[in-house]
């Protein structure tokens, strides 16, 4: 099931990026307000934020992961619009590097 969910999100995200728009009747909203998108990831996929980073002064990137291994990368711009840019499954955490290791 996790593999199907991951592939479904990835294919839908790719379709959204290719088309550049979405319709109100889409099964999953790809760009929406940040709070709404976070709520959908939690409710539909049980994904929680694992990490966050800034993209210059124009956006924030977040990684959401579920215990089942599904994951989603979300970019939020300065207006608060959040979009899914990638999704998949089989997430594995790696060793966190210290400042000396980077």
- Per the confidence metrics, is the pTM higher than 0.75? no
In three-state form (DSSP H/G/I as H, E/B as E, the rest C), the secondary structure along 76-95 is EECCCEEEEEEEECCCCCCC
Cα 53 to the chain's mean position, in Å? 13
The pLDDT, as a whole number, for residue 26 is 40
Pairing of the two strands 59-65 and 48-55: antiparallel
Convert the pLDDT of each residue in 70-87 to its tens digit. Answer: 999 999 999 999 999 999
Which residue positions in the chain have pLDDT lower than 50?
4, 7, 10-28
- CA 30 to CA 37: how far, in whole Å? 8
The pLDDT, as a whole number, for residue 59 is 94
Rg (CA), the chain: 14
In three-state form (DSSP H/G/I as H, E/B as E, the rest C), the secondary structure along 61-79 is EEEEECCCCCEEEEEEECC
Q: Are 66 and 45 in contact (CB under 8 A)?
A: yes
């Amino acid at each position: 099931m996790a593999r199907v969910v991951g592939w479904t999100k990835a294919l839908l995200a790719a379709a959204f990026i290719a088309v550049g728009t979405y319709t109100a009747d889409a099964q999953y909203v790809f760009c929406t307000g940040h709070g709404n998108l976070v709520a959908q990831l939690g409710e539909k996929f049980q994904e929680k934020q694992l990490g966050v980073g800034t993209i210059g002064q124009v956006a924030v990137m977040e990684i959401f992961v579920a215990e089942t291994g599904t994951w989603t990368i979300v970019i939020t711009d300065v207006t608060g619009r959040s979009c899914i840019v990638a999704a998949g499954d089989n997430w594995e955490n790696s060793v966190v590097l210290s400042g000396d290791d980077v």
